[in-house]
Amino acid sequence: EGERLYLGFDFGTSGARFAIIDKDGAIRAEAKREYPLFVQLLILRFLFVLSRKNGESRDWVRSWKETLFSLLEDVPLDIRKHVVAISIDGTSATTLIVDSYTGEPLWRPFLYNESCSDALPVVKSIAPPNHTVCTGSSTLCKLVSWWNHVGSDKKPALLLHQADWLLWLLHGKLGVTDYNNALKASFNKSITVGYDPEVDSYPSWLVCQPYYHLLPSVLAPGTPIACLKEEVGNKYGFQKDCVVCTGTTDSIAAFLAARASQPGKAVTSLGSTLAIKLLSNTRIEDSRFGVYSHRLDDKWLVGGASNTGGAILRQLFTDNQLEKLSEQINPSQPSPLDYYPLPKAGERFPVADPNLAPRLHPRPENDVEYLHGILESIARIEAKAYELLKELGATQVEEVFTAGGGAKNEKWIKIRERVLGLPVSRANQTEAAYGAALLAKKADQQNIPS
Ligand code: ADP
């Protein structure tokens, strides 16, 4: 028998990484690679590129594929045979249209942030008002754009998300996705096919469309799909009953990494912006605030993002200054300074006001006091954000883990504990690849569905 290890891949925007964990969640190996540069060669694809405004000449599909197999080679030889399950997360709304027999892409991929606004009028005419799919970068807009572009001469095709396609390279069973990728956001965020997580199927307004048969079937993240393809297992020295399972999106994988797995546990990400995610027993949506919910088994991952955060800190201080000045802050002392730090006018959550002006005055002479005021003001916005989620019906927050560049600031953590009135700590793990490995671990307890 021997040890059981779990392999998770994260495919981000500029590169990919993996993490291998054991049953206790300890990391046994990790590695990362930048995507190599390949350029599109096929003339057909080239014409398609020319026909689109934001033409993209990189051969992303080849880059992802090569990176996946290079990373498999990076897995230390002695542990390969102990890997019993594999999962992958990818950037949400990165979409491929593939041949439904060979699995090979029929077109270059539609990238996560690419807008297919040509399809927007059609999508708006079939979807409910304000539905998530009603923005140009939604997966559905990408599908409809392709469908209309290709016209009547269509090969049998399938839609897959980035993670689905990469997983297919490993298991060979076409046409499967997970409900995080299929949904991404249930309302008002840019990125979804239109899968409705509460009724467990695609909505009827989508089922009656001529391209409905292109949509993949949907399983929970971390569900076994099939065993690793024999040729892959043999080539790289993985065991033949190593199971490949459904993945998720990159941001959900990052949340899973923090292991905030009880309702009331939350992760605040202090990067350029302030993003919060809370595990809730109830699903909430509010398009005014850009608040939406992802399903996670029998619970909901509720989230929202404020424009405040590290971006403004970076405009005012270097990271080195931040560290030095923070050391001198007394976090048990409340700051009387009341700011609303924003890099430019406009806020959505927890205040929905597109014209909200940044407030960073009066500026005290002492920079320690100034920084204290800013950190404390951002903490108040964070508190207000969690309060708003509760008002909208989410489970009350009980404990906050922290990710992102601001997480290393111990003084800020103390300030936030005082302002939030909750235990706050730095998340032990924040890598999406670690979250994907946890999904692989989850799949190890289950049978492959027939
Ligand atoms: P993103 O990935 O969103 O660009 P990161 O998670 O890398 O951001 O975090 C970078 C941010 O962290 C920067 O805006 C920077 O100002 C902030 N930051 C870096 N060091 C500190 C610190 N010691 N205290 C607070 N914020 C910090």
104 in contact with ligand 1, CB cutoff 6 A:
no
Q: Specify the CATH number for the domain of residue 300.
A: 3.30.420.40
In a domain, 269, yes or no: yes
294-331 pLDDT, tens digit each: 889 889 999 999 999 999 999 999 999 999 999 999 99
What tokens appear for 288 in the block? 């005014």
Q: Total domain count for the chain?
A: 2
Quick one: which H or E segment has residue 389?
helix 367-391
Report CA(401)–ligand 1 centroid distance (Å).
16
pLDDT of residue 148: 93
User: Percent of the chain at pLDDT above 90?
Assistant: 78
Whether 89 and 228 map to the same domain: the answer is yes
63-116 pLDDT, tens digit each: 999 999 999 999 999 999 999 999 999 998 899 999 999 999 998 899 988 999
Whether 176 and 280 map to the same domain: the answer is no
Higher pLDDT, 122 or 191: 122
Ligand 1 atom, smallest distance to 273 CA = 3
Look at 99-103, 111-115, 406-410, 445-449 and tell me which has the smallest mean pLDDT.
Answer: 445-449
Q: Which domain holds residue 191?
A: 5-252+433-443
Whether 244 and 278 map to the same domain: the answer is no
Is the distance from CB of 214 to CB of 159 less than 8 angstroms?
yes
Whether 90 and 124 map to the same domain: the answer is yes
Whether 332 and 246 map to the same domain: the answer is no
In a domain, 449, yes or no: no
Whether 178 and 129 map to the same domain: the answer is yes
In a domain, 450, yes or no: no
pLDDT at 44 over 60: no
Whether 214 and 283 map to the same domain: the answer is no
d(CA 78, CA 86): 17
| The residue type at 105 | P
Report CA(268)–ligand 1 centroid distance (Å).
13
pLDDT of residue 153: 77
- Residues in CB range of 119: below 8 A, 6 or more apart: 136, 140, 141, 142, 143, 144, 145, 148
In a domain, 196, yes or no: yes
Mean pLDDT of 114-124: 93
d(CA 315, CA 295): 36
Report CA(314)–ligand 1 centroid distance (Å).
7
pLDDT of residue 368: 98
What tokens appear for 242 in the block? 């190593």
- Asked if the interface predicted TM-score (ipTM) of this complex is over 0.95, the answer is yes
Whether 226 and 79 map to the same domain: the answer is yes
Whether 224 and 339 map to the same domain: the answer is no
Whether 110 and 71 map to the same domain: the answer is yes
d(CA 160, CA 175): 7
| Paired strand residues for 294 | 301
Mutate to test the pocket of ligand 1, among 10, 270, 323 (most ligand atoms within 8 A of CB): 270
What tokens appear for 345 in the block? 């006018």
In a domain, 32, yes or no: yes
In a domain, 79, yes or no: yes
In a domain, 174, yes or no: yes
33 in contact with ligand 1, CB cutoff 6 A:
no
Mean pLDDT of 50-55: 51
Report CA(313)–ligand 1 centroid distance (Å).
8
Query: Cβ atoms within 10 A of the Cβ of 211, count?
Result: 17
406 in contact with ligand 1, CB cutoff 6 A:
yes
Whether 318 and 419 map to the same domain: the answer is yes
In a domain, 448, yes or no: no
Given pLDDT bands bounded at 50, 70 and 90, which one contains residue 189?
very low
172 in contact with ligand 1, CB cutoff 6 A:
no
- B/e letters for 354-378, b = 16+ CB within 10 Å, e = fewer, are eeeebebeeeeeeeebbbbbbbbbb
Mutate to test the pocket of ligand 1, among 409, 413, 414, 431 (most ligand atoms within 8 A of CB): 409
Question: Strand, helix or coil at 134?
Answer: coil
Report CA(191)–ligand 1 centroid distance (Å).
26
pLDDT of residue 433: 98
Whether 157 and 283 map to the same domain: the answer is no
d(CA 242, CA 391): 45
